[in-house]
């Protein structure tokens, strides 16, 4: 089963991310949920907005060590929550921001953004996959013209431990 939460500019009623993940069959489809939530600096602000059975909130810029423009795109939960993915839009990677420049951003995103959201929502994955993409392309779609970077972490004692591929 896979659940997905995607940033958008819609509004509606507020519900916690936990409800989106826990009630994925209620949100949309049988095996997949298309949902949306806003990733913020504090876990207390990680909420979903309910709209016609799906969840939606607005995307916003996130500060990272490299200074690159970065915004949240999508949360995906797979394998009954053992694997979670956080996708980010980083339109300037490859154009002034190479991999070595943005590598510290992955650790900062995981420790400062992802772990608090997971903790606040009672999620305990075994792995966290973070991705940065120069363009917003659908999850799983291969586009050789769009640069993407990926890193894998495991949560441990309130921090993210980098797991080399």
pLDDT tens-place string over residues 2-53: 566 665 433 222 223 333 444 433 233 223 333 444 444 332 233 232 222 2
Residues in a beta bridge with 52: none
Contact of 81 with 33, CB cutoff 8 Å: no
In the block, tokens 């309910």 appear at 50
Q: What is the pTM of this model?
A: 0.70
Question: What pLDDT sits at residue 61?
Answer: 85
Question: What pLDDT sits at residue 25?
Answer: 30
Question: What pLDDT sits at residue 96?
Answer: 87
Helix ranges, the chain (H): 17-22, 24-27, 99-109, 115-120
Question: What pLDDT sits at residue 55?
Answer: 30
* Nearest CA among 27, 32, 121, 132 for reference residue 90: 132
pLDDT above 90: percentage of residues in the chain: 59
Give the distance from CA 44 to its chain's centroid.
16
């Amino acid at each position: 089963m896979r659940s997905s939460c995607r940033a958008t500019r819609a509004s509606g009623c507020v519900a916690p991310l936990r409800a989106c993940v826990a009630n994925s069959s209620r949100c949309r489809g049988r095996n997949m949920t298309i949902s949306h939530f806003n990733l913020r600096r504090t876990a207390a602000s990680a909420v979903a907005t309910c709209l016609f059975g799906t969840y939606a909130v607005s995307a916003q810029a996130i500060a990272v060590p490299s200074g690159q423009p970065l915004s949240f795109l999508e949360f995906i939960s797979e394998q009954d929550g053992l694997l979670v993915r956080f996708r980010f839009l980083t339109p300037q990677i490859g154009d002034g921001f190479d991999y070595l420049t943005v590598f510290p951003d992955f650790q900062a995103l995981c420790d400062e953004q992802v772990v608090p959201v997971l903790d606040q929502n009672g999620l305990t994955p075994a792995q966290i996959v973070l991705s940065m993409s120069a363009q917003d392309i659908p999850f799983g779609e291969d586009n050789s013209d769009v640069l993407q970077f990926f890193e894998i972490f495991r949560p441990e004692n309130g921090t993210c431990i980098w797991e080399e591929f």
